[in-house]
Structure 1
Amino acid sequence: MHRTDTPQPRALGDHTWRDRAACRSTPHHRVDPELFFPEPDEVDRIAAAKALCAQCPVSSTCLEAALENGDRDGIRGGMTEEEREALHSKLGGRLSYSRVNEALAGRDIHLTKAERKAVVRAAYQADIPAEQLARMLKVTEAHAGKLYRRTRREIRNRAVEQQKKANEAAKSPDNAPQILKNPAAKLPARDDLGTAA
């Protein structure tokens, strides 16, 4: 069964999604919370919990929250502890541009390492002041400045590497006839690369 919600990035500390969860007990719909903490060999309880998760309108948000909070116990978002284990280990590398855009728009959301790096790069390229980046990432302004300097250095180093590869390709014997055919083509001089950091 497919998930009924596409998780919009939650604000940090936002738990309002829980009010819509299928596992939420109400006077008319009693749910035993212990159902979601079965032993690995309790196949019937696991199936019952997953069946309830399959009906849940916020199961994807539940799974995201479990991963972001490092919650490794019980069934969350329709997945057992064992099924979520691989997702926990990959979370730091998750890169969702919708989350990056939400952070750049000023929403206070959980970001992975990869997403934080993308926010810094996008903010740098958009000339967002370091003080604003500091507020986005909840770091000091001095640290935001350091992140900008690192990003500037990475961009510069990548450009230098690309230029080196282009120069090497132009010097290779396979490309020699093309260079001779177009004598007006000028290879960039070392001075065109700028100074090193």
Structure 2
Amino acid sequence: MTTTTISPARHRSLGDHSWQDQAVCQSTEYNPVDPEIFFPEPDETDKITAAKSLCSQCPVRRTCLDAALEGGDTDGIRGGMTEEERGPLHEKLAHRLDYSRVNATIAGRDVHLTKAERRAVVLAAYRHGVTEQRLAWLLKITEEHAQKLYRETRRALRNRDLEQSKQTTSSVETHGERLGRDDFGTAA
């Protein structure tokens, strides 16, 4: 099942780690934080509770969780979730379809995309008349690959339209016979 969201989130760019400066878990002179509390053993419930308490106050918790999922981090508490809690999210990540990420990419932002989101970017770019060169730049692919993706998109849309017209035609038929003008009666 595909998860679809349209939240107006601000997504971090690929390779951007500047969000970590705003994280509550960053130890400072005035706010000493022991990083070990974010890597507790399964039976250390006090450390887990303390780490989750800090995460609940963090302004970049969602970004931290996204970074952990996108980077494949399976160790420690990230984004307010333990390794076990993030497990199902790791499995579903490839199917995520977040239109705010798609829109951010079309606008030129360099954000992490899942396979489903990449397909949505190609379809949106095709429908909006984005050039193959621009699509190649947006997805960091060659122009030849962008041309191929557009050909596949054109073919898929054409086949979908043909299938829809077949369904419309078959709904007008009765028992395999085509209905004529006289079969509908006359208007009073």
Fold-level similarity (TM above 0.5): yes
| Equivalent residue in structure 1 for 2:184, among 181, 185, 191 | 181
Task: Name which of 56, 59, 67 aligns with 2:61.
Answer: 59
The residue type equivalent to 2:112 in the other structure is H
Give, in angstroms, the shift of residue 164 of structure 1. 1.3
- 2:37–2:51 Cα contact (<8 Å) kept: yes
The one-letter code matched in structure 2 to 1:10 is R
- Assess, with a 3 A threshold, how the Cα gap between structure 1 residues 127 and 56 changes in structure 2: closer, same or farther: same
Q: Please state how far the C-alpha of 1:94 moved relative to its aligned partner.
A: 0.8
- RCO higher in 1 or 2 (8 Å CA, sep ≥ 6)? 2
Runs of 5+ consecutive residues of structure 2 not aligned to the other structure:
1-7
**CA shift for structure 1 position 127:** 1.5
AA aligned opposite 1:160: L
Give the one of 108, 116, 120 matched to 1:106: 108
Which portions of structure 1, spanning 4 or more consecutive aligned residues, are displaced by more than 2 angstroms?
175-180
- Counterpart of 2:10 in structure 1: which amino acid? Q
Shift of 1:171: 1.2
Matches of residues 56-135 of structure 1 in structure 2 within 5 Å? Answer: 56-135=58-137
Q: Which runs of 5+ in 1 are unaligned?
A: 1-5, 184-197
Q: TM-score, normalised by structure 1?
A: 0.85
Which residue is equivalent to 1:33? 35
Structure 1: how far apart are the matches of 2:136 and 2:78? 33
Q: For 1:2-17, what aligned pairs fall within 5 Å after superposition?
A: 7-17=9-19
User: What amino acid is the match of 2:76?
Assistant: G
What's the counterpart of residue 138 of structure 1? 140
Q: Is the 8 A contact 2:74 2:83 kept in 1?
A: yes
Question: 1:172 offset after TM fit, Å?
Answer: 3.4
| 2:50 aligned partner | 48
User: Which letter does structure 2 place at the counterpart of 1:20?
Assistant: Q
TM-score, length-normalised on structure 2?
0.88
In structure 2, what is the equivalent of residue 154 of structure 1? 156
| Amino acid aligned to 2:67 | A
Percent of aligned positions with the same letter in both sequences? 58
CA distance in 2, matches of 1:116, 1:169: 35
Letter matched to residue 66 of structure 1: A
Q: Are 1:7 and 1:60, in contact at CA under 8 Å, matched by a contact in 2?
A: no
Q: Distance in 2 between matches of 1:39 and 1:60?
A: 23
